[in-house]
Amino acid sequence: MKEFFKSGDLFIWMTGLGLGVSLVMITGILYLIIINGSDYFWPQNIVKVETNDGRAYIGQKMTTEKIPLANMDDSLHSKGLKRVQFKVGNRELYGFDFLWLDESEIKKIDENPKNALCFERMEFGNFFGYLQNIYRDTTPVAKNQANALKILPNYLDIASNLRSEIKIIEKDEIGSINYKIEGLRTKIKKVEYENKHTKDHKIIEEKSKPFYAEIDNFQNGYTKLQEKIDSLNKIAKTYSIKLTTAAGDTTTIPLINIFHYYLPNEMGFFGKLGFAFTKIYEFIFDEPRESNTEGGVFPAIFGTIMLVLLMSIAVVPFGVLAALYLREYAKQGFLVRTVRIAVNNLAGVPSIVFGIFGLGFFIYTVGGTIDKLFYPELLPTPTWGTGGILWASLTLALLTVPVVIVATEEALATIPRGIREASLALGATKWQTMKKIILPAAAPGILTGLILAMARAAGEVAPLMITGVVKLAPSLPLDWNLPFIHLDRKFMHLGFHIYDVGFQSPNIEAALPMVYMTTLLLIVIVILLNITAMKIRTNLRKKYKTSVF
């Protein structure tokens, strides 16, 4: 037995067991996320349920569970009764999206009601019902229900094209005009600030006159575009559909408010699969709607990736230079050991502490100083003295710089001393040796630190909440307006999106599939970023055989 312990086989097997358990746990978590999030993409069949008291609903059967003992009579505890959750939608009629019914309350469940539809709307969630007819103004355009179902896709395409045209005008054309008008107003404020001590107001008026003239021209363009939008909205509102519920209630919905519709009971497996792929595409590339509980998460994806890239650009030079100085240039002694201890301790500081530091130093101190020096005419409204993607990136760079420093020092320590001495003996300076020999050879280890830094930064939320992240950002930090990259803007982030939808949503049950899928997407993005960095690291390892990383 003593020889067995000395051989180390036990520890090898224990390590393998730990790795196996970790893999099983990771696989289980991913399976749980995928299964719970699949409801967001997969079109479930619609059922019709009738209760003993005469009520009727149609919707999707979500889950069945035992009735909690606290909700039952003592006499019923031993019977193991269950309750069923239905997603019934029609929020404007019922005031709720989900309905729990005890088995004892259910009279009948029709598993395949004919012509039952689910309409995904721009607001108010899903509507489950039966299509009666399509209307242009107040005139029905279909001969009967079957004909209405047949021509519905054509009319939805018309409404979708109108909605897209309105969105393009509002977001691109009017957005560009508003941005330019805001820039001109800033110039006017600058003129007023520079001449605030001038008693002759005609000087200010004369200098501001060209800016006011440009604003008037843009206002005229804005008015024409707004008239065009009003005209398109007027046309869109002429198209509507008449729907009835399982209980026979009737309602009318404008077609422009309908995003999707489907008849899941009449869709085969491949039809549902195609619909799921369409939903996945929309989830990745569309913008959020319904308080972030519906639609896509593209702004959050963009914000997350841009944040990580900016953080990487900031953290690598500082981390590498700090490690290079500590390892290669600084005289080893008490001070250097103290600095290393401080760096290691920084890695264990809670992230919210870094967030508070970023708020106080980057936003209030640096940003506030920039505003006083370069944008005094806009004060007290801050330009850089408020949260933005630049300050959030620098805060995360401070958070992750200890990881890069430690990894870089370890990589530098693995470079044989003989290589340094050979380079110096051939006449190279110390900096040339560092630049041409040591740093390239240590690059795989540096990338190891960057990979760890990216993985941590992508999932951080606490420091971002006070340095620039928001629930919904009207504009991306990157657009076609000069200077194209707007580092002072607020941004969205997948981690904060998960927190917001999961814990701040007014309709948490409806938002749960979105929470799971956003979580899976964040994991995928972190994996892709890491794979890219690891691929670069592998190529560098092949090039510089002296590195053990």
pLDDT in tens, 288-326: 887 777 888 999 999 999 999 999 999 999 999 999 988
* Between 269 and 8, residue with greater pLDDT: 269
162 confidence band (pLDDT: 50, 70, 90): very high
Mean pLDDT is lowest, of 217-221, 393-397, 453-457, 539-543, for 539-543
Report the mean per-residue pLDDT for the chain. Answer: 86
Distance CA 290, CA 259 (A): 12
- pTM of this structure: 0.87
* 54-105 pLDDT, tens digit each: 889 999 988 888 877 655 555 554 456 788 889 988 888 888 888 888 888 8
pLDDT for position 226: 93
* 45-62 pLDDT, tens digit each: 999 999 998 889 999 988
DSSP 260: E
Distance CA 11, CA 8 (A): 5
467: CB partners within 8 A, 6+ apart: 355, 358, 359, 362, 363, 387, 388, 391, 392, 395
Share of the chain above pLDDT 90, in %: 31
Distance CA 442, CA 444 (A): 6
Asked if residue 506 has pLDDT above 80, the reply is no
pLDDT for position 547: 44
In DSSP terms, 83 is beta-bridged to 65, 102
Amino acid at 537: R
| 332 φψ region: left (φ > 0), alpha (ψ -120 to 50), beta (else) | beta
pLDDT for position 549: 39
Asked if residue 480 has pLDDT above 90, the reply is no
Helix or strand (DSSP H, E) at 98 = strand 98-102
Mean pLDDT is lowest, of 118-122, 162-166, 187-191, 500-504, for 500-504
- Following CA atoms 164, 168, 169, 173 in sequence, which dihedral angle do they give, to the nearest 10 degrees? -170
* 430-465 pLDDT, tens digit each: 888 888 888 888 888 888 888 888 888 888 899 999
The 3-state DSSP composition of the chain as helix, strand, coil percent (nearest 5) reads 65, 15, 25
Average pLDDT over residues 485-509: 86
311: CB partners within 8 A, 6+ apart: 393, 394, 396, 397, 400, 453, 454, 457
Neighbours of 525 (CB within 10 A): 17
